[in-house]
Structure formats: structure tokens, C-alpha cells
Amino acid sequence: MFFDNTNMELINKAITKYPVKQAALLDILNIVQAKERYISEESAHAISELLEIPKKDVDGVVSFYTMLTTKPRGKNHIQVCTNISCILLKGKELFEYISNKTGLKNNETSADGLFSLEEVECMGACGSAPMIAVNERYYENMSKEMFDTIFDTINDSFL
């Protein structure tokens, strides 16, 4: 579970930033997801107990924010924007290319847990579309060739 010494230190630091500990919910959810790659039922329950709030409040926050998930994501989570600016600049074709290259469909995770793929709405880079993110690192003006370089770099780190 995530309540090891390192994470408890991060959690306690997050709690001290706010006048009431319940306000640290989003920070704590991010800490847990960074460790577990998703918010499990067990984690949500433990967080609700720690913050002394109903579990439904934790679940409500998790379901509201798209950066949080209740389904395990890959170690390398690839998000591809397919909103209007990105679509006009071949974002949909880029998603299909990445899908074919990884063998993943939208919201799937590879069997080895290394990759997951997600089609997302606006990532806020309309002026430099199309855009993808890999583990919250953003890449603008994305092309198939640029993705190949990123993908090869990721794969090389696991050899």
C-alpha cells in the first residue's frame, strides 16, 4: 500500500499546506496515483479514513478529474489530443498511428504494463497542435516521426 514512510512524508507535507486536512485530497490522490498508477478501491478507502471524509467524496473527486483513474495505467501513459485544433492538424491520424504502433486501443494498457493509450480532449496547445503527452510531459507540433523517436527512447530504457 502507499502508506510507506516516503509517501507518508509526502502526504503529511501536503496536509500541512492547508488549513484543514481534507483540503489536501487532490494532492494525496496525485501522490497515490504516482505510486500505484491508479486509484484503487483500497486506496480510496484508506484516503477517506485518513482525511476523515466519506469515501463517496474521494470517489467524486477521482471521477471528476481526467488525470485521475480507477483503472491501472501503463508505466508510460500516452495521451493524444483529438480536439478540434489537433484534429484539423491530423491528430486523429496520429492517434491511429500510435494505436497501431503500440497495439493498443483507446483506454487500453499493454499486458506487460509498460504502455497505456488514451484519446483526450483539449490539452491546451491549440496553437502548436497536434499534441501528445507521455507521463505528463507534453510534446507539441507532433508528427509520426517525432513519436517514433520518443517511442524508441522509451523502449530503449527497458532493454
Q: How far is CA 31 from the centre of its chain?
A: 12
pLDDT band at 5 (very low <50, low <70, confident <90, very high): confident
**Percent of the chain with pLDDT strictly greater than 90:** 77
* Distance, CA of 8 to CA of 73 (rounded, Å): 23
Q: Looking at the predicted structure, is the pLDDT value of residue 139 above 80?
A: yes
pTM: 0.77
Domain ranges of the chain: 5-64, 76-156
pLDDT for residue 67 is more than 90: no
Q: Is the pLDDT of residue 3 over 90?
A: no
> What is the C-alpha to C-alpha distance for residues 13 and 38, in angstroms, rounded to an integer?
21
User: CA 116, 119, 122 angle in degrees (round to 5)?
Assistant: 130
Reply yes or no on whether the pLDDT at 159 is more than 60: no
The CATH-assigned architecture of domain 76-156 is 3-Layer(aba) Sandwich (3.40)
Query: β-pairing, 108-109 with 115-120?
Result: antiparallel
Q: Say if residue 146 is exposed, middle or buried (CB neighbours under 10 Å; 0-12, 13-18, 19+).
A: middle
- Give residue-wise pLDDT tens across range 88-107: 999 999 999 999 999 999 99
Task: Over range 118-137, report the average pLDDT.
Answer: 91
**Nearest-angstrom CA–CA distance, 5 and 21:** 19
Using the predicted structure, report yes or no on whether residue 31 has a pLDDT greater than 90: yes
Go through 73-112 and write b for each residue having 16 or more CB atoms within 10 A of its CB, e for each that does not.
bbbbbbbbbbbebbbebbbeebbebbbeebebeeebbeee
Mean pLDDT, the chain, rounded, equals 91
Omega into 130 within 30° of 0, i.e. cis?
Answer: yes
